[in-house]
């Protein structure tokens, strides 16, 4: 870990909300609207942070704990991701399990917070969230298997570092599949079309949005920031696979990541403007397709 690791992590923490802004802007441009300014997510966060909050009399400490947990768990997970292609802040063998575990902890508290309100809408959102997260998990781990196989490493820093660049020489098809699979995972984890629609206004069709329906003010700001950070984290995974950072020094590696993430965010916007969200009963097919892609990557790798 060097000073640059910390600086680059800081850049990610600051820039994460901009990614959702880029995605939204791309979408509006492609649909012929001017759209909100790129910095709108920051304005939203500040505005919400300054507001007061409404709490349901039904709720307990769990409801107020979940927004904090959402940010802290996601932040802890970002400590494991090598944003600049060098070692992450924390690196150990099998840390990808911790990545999934930390994000799982955030989701667990969020589901509980939703059930804490006693609202059937939020129960519905929580149930859907839990269902789709269950299907994302195998896709994520299958992708990690491929990365572990092609790089021979068992930590995220090794899987997404210089080893990946070298692996493009002999395992390009598998890596390409993993990148696509991780992009699908990003769409699911970031609550984007075709899995979820961040702009929807009808509770019955929401997934993530309805699970946090009762949160307001600073709590909602925390949840939004946590979501943005998670989007940035999951965007960094396909970028880490695709952008061959090789032995670039840390600042350049981080620059590649920022550019790559912006492209990925724009791509999310393109997806959102070019297709409708899937019917809820069809979402599992999409998520299983992500697993299938990564699994094909594994088969190719084992066969080679």
Q: Segment 164-223, which members bind another protein (CB under 8 A)?
A: 172-173, 177, 203, 213-214, 217-219, 222
Give dist(CA 247, CA 261) in Å, integer. 19
> Which residue pairs from 217-220 have beta carbons closer than 8 angstroms and sit at least 24 positions apart in sequence?
217/48, 217/49, 217/51, 217/52, 217/53, 217/54, 218/48, 218/49, 218/51, 218/53, 218/67, 219/53, 219/64, 219/67, 220/48, 220/67
In angstroms, give the least distance from the CB of 41 to another protein: 19
In angstroms, give the least distance from the CB of 175 to another protein: 12
Give dist(CA 177, CA 296) in Å, integer. 8
| Contact stretch for another protein (CB under 8 A) within 7-15, 34-42, 151-159, 234-242 | 151-159
| Contact stretch for another protein (CB under 8 A) within 182-190, 231-239, 264-272, 281-289 | 281-289
Give dist(CA 105, CA 127) in Å, integer. 16
| Contact stretch for another protein (CB under 8 A) within 10-18, 143-151, 193-201, 231-239 | 143-151
**135 interacts with another protein by CB under 8 A:** yes
In angstroms, give the least distance from the CB of 108 to another protein: 6
Q: Which of residues 69-88 bind another protein (CB under 8 A)?
A: 69, 71-73, 75-76, 79-80
In angstroms, give the least distance from the CB of 133 to another protein: 6
| Main-chain dihedrals φ then ψ at residue 262, nearest 5 degrees | -65, -45
**6 interacts with another protein by CB under 8 A:** no
Beta carbons of 95 and 156 less than 8 angstroms apart: yes
């Amino acid at each position: 870990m060097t000073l640059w690791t910390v600086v680059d992590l800081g850049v990610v923490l600051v820039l994460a909300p901009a990614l959702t802004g880029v995605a939204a802007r791309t979408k509006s441009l492609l649909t012929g609207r001017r759209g909100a300014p790129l910095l709108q997510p920051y304005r939203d966060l500040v505005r919400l942070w300054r507001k007061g909050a409404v709490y349901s009399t039904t709720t307990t400490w769990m409801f107020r704990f979940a927004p904090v947990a959402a940010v802290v768990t996601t932040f802890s997970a970002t400590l494991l991701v090598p944003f600049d292609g060098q070692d992450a802040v924390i690196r150990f063998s099998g840390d990808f399990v911790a990545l999934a575990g930390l994000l799982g902890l955030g989701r667990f508290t969020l589901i509980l917070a939703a059930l804490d309100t006693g609202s059937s809408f939020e129960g519905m959102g929580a149930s859907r969230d839990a269902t789709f997260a269950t299907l994302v998990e195998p896709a994520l781990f299958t992708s990690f298997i491929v990365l572990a196989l092609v790089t021979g490493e068992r930590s995220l820093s090794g899987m997404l570092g210089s080893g990946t660049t070298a692996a493009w020489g002999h395992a390009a098809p598998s890596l390409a599949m993993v990148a696509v699979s991780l992009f699908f995972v990003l769409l699911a984890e970031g609550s984007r079309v075709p899995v979820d629609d961040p702009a929807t206004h009808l509770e019955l069709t929401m997934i993530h949005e309805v699970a946090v329906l009762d949160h307001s003010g600073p709590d909602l700001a925390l949840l939004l920031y946590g979501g943005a950070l998670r989007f940035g984290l999951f965007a960094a995974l396909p970028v880490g696979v695709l952008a061959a950072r090789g032995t670039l020094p840390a600042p350049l590696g981080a620059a590649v990541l920022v550019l790559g993430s912006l492209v990925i965010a724009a791509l999310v916007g393109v997806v959102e403007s070019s297709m409708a969200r899937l019917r809820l009963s069809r979402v599992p097919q999409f998520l299983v397709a992500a697993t299938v892609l990564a699994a094909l990557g594994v088969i190719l790798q084992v066969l080679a």
